[in-house]
């Protein structure tokens, strides 16, 4: 039976690209985290419980999980770490909340989520090439 895995060189290149993408994911997640915390305090979500657990949002490796396709862009719950964080206090915010075009710090949820989604999707694709998928 023929080996169907990508050649070693291709896997190594994918690993190098993953490192770069992970750094960009962490950088891009910071404004989204700020927006989520802003909304938690301004929209009467259970902000005390969310603030206690907000440290989980700052753990970069949790942003690398494959997207939850049940939540379309710009809903940040497409990132499992955000969905879990919101679930800790039963504060989903409602999908219509994330569709609003309200700007905070000059950005909407679409501005924040779309590029981050693209990076996570690319990281997931490269992880498959490199043979390091995790589900």
Convert the pLDDT of each residue in 52-91 to its tens digit.
667 788 888 889 899 999 999 899 999 999 888 887 765 6
Q: Is residue 2 part of a domain?
A: no
Q: Which residue has the higher pLDDT, 12 or 93?
A: 12
Q: Which residues of 69-106 are buried (b: 16+ CB within 10 A; e: fewer)?
A: eebebbbbbbbbbbbebbeebebebeeeebeeeeeeee
Q: Which residue has the higher pLDDT, 2 or 94?
A: 94
- Both structure tokens of 38: 């802003």
Q: Is residue 47 part of a domain?
A: yes
- pLDDT value, residue 51: 64
- pLDDT value, residue 1: 46
C-alpha closest to that of 117 among 35, 11, 40, 24: 24
Q: Is residue 1 part of a domain?
A: no
Mean pLDDT of the chain: 84
- pLDDT value, residue 22: 96
Tokens 């940040």 identify what position?
76
pTM: 0.83
- pLDDT value, residue 2: 53
Q: What domain range is 68 assigned to?
A: 8-130
Please report the DSSP string for 44-79 in residue order. TS-HHHHHHHGGGGG-GGGGGSPP-TTS-TT-GGGS
Q: Is residue 3 part of a domain?
A: no
Convert the pLDDT of each residue in 105-122 to its tens digit.
889 999 999 999 999 999
Would you report the helix, strand and coil content of the chain in percent, each value rounded to 5? 65, 0, 30
Q: Is residue 56 part of a domain?
A: yes
**Any idea which of 13-17, 19-23, 97-101 has the lowest mean pLDDT?**
97-101
Structurally, the chain folds into a number of domains equal to 1
Determine contact, residues 98/74, Cβ cutoff 8 Å: yes
- pLDDT value, residue 90: 59
Rounded to whole angstroms, the Cα distance separating 77 from 91 reads 11
Overall average pLDDT of the 17-40 stretch? 92
Q: Is residue 135 part of a domain?
A: no
Q: Is residue 98 part of a domain?
A: yes
- Both structure tokens of 52: 């206690």
Q: Is residue 109 part of a domain?
A: yes
Determine contact, residues 75/98, Cβ cutoff 8 Å: yes
């Amino acid at each position: 039976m023929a080996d169907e895995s990508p050649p070693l060189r291709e896997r190594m290149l994918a690993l190098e690209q993953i490192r770069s993408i992970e750094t960009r994911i962490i950088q891009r997640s910071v404004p989204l985290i700020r927006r989520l915390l802003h909304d938690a305090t301004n929209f009467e979500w259970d902000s005390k419980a969310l603030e206690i657990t907000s440290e989980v949002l700052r753990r970069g490796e949790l942003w690398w999980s494959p997207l939850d396709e049940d939540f379309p862009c710009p809903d940040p719950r497409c990132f499992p770490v955000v969905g879990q964080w919101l679930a800790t206090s039963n504060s989903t915010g409602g999908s219509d909340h994330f569709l609003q075009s309200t700007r905070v710090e000059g950005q909407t949820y679409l501005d924040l989520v779309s590029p981050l989604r693209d990076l996570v999707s690319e990281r997931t694709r490269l992880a498959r090439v490199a043979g390091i998928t995790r589900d």
